[in-house]
Amino acid sequence: MDILKQVYQHPLFEASDFELIAQAHQKITAHKGELLLSKGKIQDEYYIIESGLVRAYLYDYEGNEITTDFKGNNEVVIDVASIFPRVPSQEYIQCLTDCSLYKISYDDFQELFHKIPAMREWGRAWMSYELYLSKKRATEIITEPASKRYLQLIQEKPQIIQQAPLKHIATYLGITDTSLSRIRKEVAYL
């Protein structure tokens, strides 16, 4: 229940709201390598990570696997481009470690969204923040050097550095494994 209160933070939530929220979520475990979503499937649930690391990825036009996002402890794992418009996903979502998750179905979320006014406000705030992060990342990948993006990742998301394979970090940063190795050596000497 504590993890749900951490994720669903909004001043309008009341104690009774969290009883309904807790009832709508199911605690599950997923193993390293397990897919939570596959390309071509419509996402019918989303997850809150209690512990573990998850990544979203896709294949580029040349067939290269590209990591598009990482989510770790206390974060929401969702493909908003699939679940809300109810269209097949273009991405895969995979556990990089064994994970402890809370799962909520799309239908249960919709019910909470209509039943609890604070859930609507939380949803708007969460979506706005995720849109901001997405735009920030897209801008930084164009305007910031890879070394700065790597240092920022170390500072803001150390869980990724500690638990994700380097090949996934490299594609997430938009660089090759070789470039990441060079950057890591440079950073080690700072």
Same domain for 85 and 17, yes or no, is yes
Residue 190: its pLDDT value, please? 58
pLDDT digits (tens, 9 = 90+) for 92-131: 999 999 999 999 999 999 999 999 999 999 999 999 999 9
Structural domain boundaries, residue 178:
144-190
Same domain for 89 and 11, yes or no, is yes
Mean pLDDT of 19-35: 97
Angle between helices 15-24 and 117-143 (to 10 degrees): 70
pLDDT digits (tens, 9 = 90+) for 178-190: 999 999 988 876 5
Cα(148)–Cα(136) distance, integer angstroms: 14
Q: Name the pLDDT band for 177 (thresholds 50, 70, 90).
A: very high
The whole-chain average pLDDT of the chain stands at: 94
pTM for the whole thing? 0.91
Cα(79)–Cα(67) distance, integer angstroms: 13
Same domain for 64 and 148, yes or no, is no
CA 144 vs. chain centroid, Å, equals 22
Residue 187: its pLDDT value, please? 81
